[in-house]
Amino acid sequence: MSTYDKAKKDIEEIMNIMDGINLDDIKTNGFSIRCGNKVLHLKMVSEKSLEDVENELRNEFAKKLTDKINFIKTNIGNKINEMTEFVHRIKVEYVKKEKDLNDKLNNTSMMPDISYHKHAVRGISVVKSDEMDGLVWLIRGIYWPKYVDGVKIEPKFSKKMISPIIITIWTKRDKITTVSTHEPIGLNYFDHYHQSKPDCWGSWSYDRKWKTADDIIKIAEKAQAVLENINTLSVVSHNPRSLPRLATVNRYLIKDNKIDDIKNVSNNLKRVGIRDDNLTSDNVWSI
C-alpha cells in the first residue's frame, strides 16, 4: 500500500469515528455544583417531561458539538493532507535521485585493466565515449606506406612519407565497432589514400570482440601493417593532403630490383607530416 493510500485510509477512519458520535448516547448520572470548598451533588429523584426545554437544550448542544467536531475534523484533515503532501514530495525527490543515480551508473564504463609498464609504454590510452558502456582507445602509430599492390617503393622515398598517426578503436562493451586513423593533434581523420572517414580497410577485417588491452594493441598493429600497402583497387583519394600524388609514388616503385627512368631520390626533400597548405605538393615530392 502506498503512503498516499494509507494516509487516505487513516483519514477515513478518523472521520468515521467523528461521525459516529451520537448526542443521544451522551448521558449523565448526576450534577455537581462547587461552592468554595464545598461540593453539592444533585441526584434525579423523579422525571418530568419538559419536552420543549429539553429539545431546545439538546438542539443547541448538538449544534455546538457538531460545529466542534467539524472543526476538529477539518484541522485533522488539513494536518494529514500536509503530511501526505510532504511525504509525497520526499518520495518524488527520492525517485528522481534514484533514477539519476541509476542513469549515472548505467553510463559509467569500468576502467579496463591497463598498466603503465605493460600497456602505456606501448602508446595506448583510453577515454570514455559518449555512448553507454563505450570506450575509445587511442594507440600511437605511424603511417609508412612501403608497397603499392605488393610492389616495393624506393626506401628513401618511402621514408619521406612517414607520418605520426593515432589509430582509434571504438568499443561498446566487449564489441569492437570501428577502427580508424587520426591526426595526433585535433584527432581529425588522417588524410591518406584509403581514407573514407572512417578508413577503407579493403579485404582486411578486424576482430569484432576484445577481452584485454593486448587485444586492442594487436588490432592496432595489424591496422598499421595493412596501411603499409597501397591497394589501388580500393583507393579513395589519389592526392591526399601532405602526401605525394599516387602517380608520383608509382614512379618510385622498384621493379626487377631497379627504378625505371628516374633520378636517385634527393636527401634534401622535405619530410612527411607537412601541414603547410601554402606548399605545392608537386614541389615537395618531385625531384
What is the tens place of the pLDDT at every residue in 30-56? Answer: 666 677 777 777 676 766 665 666 677
201 pLDDT band, cuts 50/70/90, is: very high
> Apex CA 143: angle with CA 139 and CA 146, to 5°?
140
CB 154 within 8 A of CB 254: yes
Q: How many CB atoms lie within 10 A of CB 265?
A: 17
- Which tens digits make up the pLDDT trace of 133-148? 889 999 999 999 999 9
Per the model's pLDDT, the better-predicted residue between 41 and 75 turns out to be 75
From 55-64, 156-165, 275-284, the region with the lowest mean pLDDT = 275-284
CB 232 within 8 A of CB 151: no
Mean pLDDT to the nearest integer, 72-82: 82
Give the best-scoring range by mean pLDDT among 13-22, 39-48, 144-153: 144-153
Nearest to 140 by CA among 244, 64, 252, 216: 216
Using CA atoms, how far apart are residues 216 and 139, in angstroms rounded to an integer?
9
Using CA atoms, how far apart are residues 77 and 9, in angstroms rounded to an integer?
12
Nearest to 191 by CA among 139, 148, 227: 227
CB 204 within 8 A of CB 225: no
CB 171 within 8 A of CB 135: yes
Based on the number of CB atoms within 10 Å of its own CB, is 249 exposed (0-12), middle (13-18) or buried (19 or more)?
buried
Query: What pTM was estimated for this model as a whole?
Result: 0.57
How much of the chain exceeds pLDDT 90, in percent? 41
Look up residue 94 and give its amino acid: Y
Chain centre distance of CA 281: 44
Residues whose CB falls within 8 Å of the CB of residue 201, separated by 6 or more in sequence, listed in order: 179, 194, 223, 226
The strand pairing partners of 41, in sequence order, are 32
CB 189 within 8 A of CB 182: yes
Nearest to 77 by CA among 65, 67, 87, 69: 69
Helix spans in 20-116 (H): 51-106
N- to C-terminal Cα distance for the chain? Answer: 87
Backbone phi, psi, residue 149, to 5°: 50, 40
189 pLDDT band, cuts 50/70/90, is: very high
Question: Is the bond preceding residue 184 a cis peptide, omega within 30 degrees?
Answer: no
